Amino acid sequence: HMKDIFKAFQQCSLNNLRVVILGQDPYPQKDVATGIAFANSLDTPEKSYSPSLNILMESVIDFTVPHRRIIFDQSLEKWEAQGVLMLNSARTCELGKPGSHALLWRPFINSFLSNLSMQYTAIVYVLMGSQAQSFEYAIVRNNYVIKAKHPSYYARTKTRMPSDIWKQVNDILININGFGIQWYEES
């Protein structure tokens, strides 16, 4: 929906910004993209999560260790509320055509990352996939950059996304200001 193009910016306050997770482009299927990268709407049942969101969830929670009851917010708005900007390097695409607007959005994302990283130096940037990583040059050196494969790679190859990315982000954040991101809730 057109109203959701800048939703990620509305959900995550600049004063609170601590992490930028950069993906590729919105889900190209009708009524799936929410304006927040990788997210699904709150009314999406877990069995219907998008493959990339499933990969992120499994990586963040790390099901190889025992947990009590887990609450995972598929809208990713709880991440955004903690200062995690979930952004795609293209804010739009044509239905059924991923990457179709990548060049259109490139100057906007480039300028955003460049200006943000010049003004704020304690932000962790997680660049997921080669398209996101092509913006690394726009991020000023005094920032933290973590590169990872795009979750769709793990969905395609039926492999697990390493969970150490989330620990790495939190280790940096704890070093900077004493607390990390709560990626999921456990009750």
Please tell me the distance from the alpha carbon of residue 6 to that of residue 54, in angstroms, as a whole number: 23
Beta bridge partners of 86: 21
Please tell me the distance from the alpha carbon of residue 19 to that of residue 170, in angstroms, as a whole number: 10
Residue 40 burial by CB count (10 A; 0-12/13-18/19+): exposed, middle or buried?
buried
Neighbours of 149 (CB within 10 A): 17
Q: Which of 26-35, 66-75, 107-116, 167-176 has the lowest mean pLDDT?
A: 26-35
Please tell me the distance from the alpha carbon of residue 179 to that of residue 108, in angstroms, as a whole number: 31
For the ranges 13-22, 38-47, 55-64, the maximum mean pLDDT occurs at 13-22
Q: Is pLDDT of 181 > 90?
A: yes
Region 45-51: what's the mean pLDDT?
Answer: 87
Residue 146, pLDDT score: 97
In terms of CATH architecture, what is 2-186? Answer: 3-Layer(aba) Sandwich (3.40)
Please tell me the distance from the alpha carbon of residue 158 to that of residue 141, in angstroms, as a whole number: 34
- Find, among 29, 31, 33, 12, the residue nearest to 21 by Cα: 12
Catalytic residues: 25
Residue 136, pLDDT score: 97
Encode pLDDT of 83-102 as tens digits.
Answer: 999 998 877 667 778 777 77
Q: Is pLDDT of 80 > 80?
A: yes
Residue 94, pLDDT score: 72
- Find, among 36, 82, 62, 76, the residue nearest to 186 by Cα: 62
User: How would residue 68 be classed by pLDDT, with cut points 50, 70 and 90?
Assistant: confident
Q: b or e along 3-24 (b: 16 or more beta carbons within 10 Å of the residue's beta carbon)? A: eeeebbbebbeeeebbbbbbbb
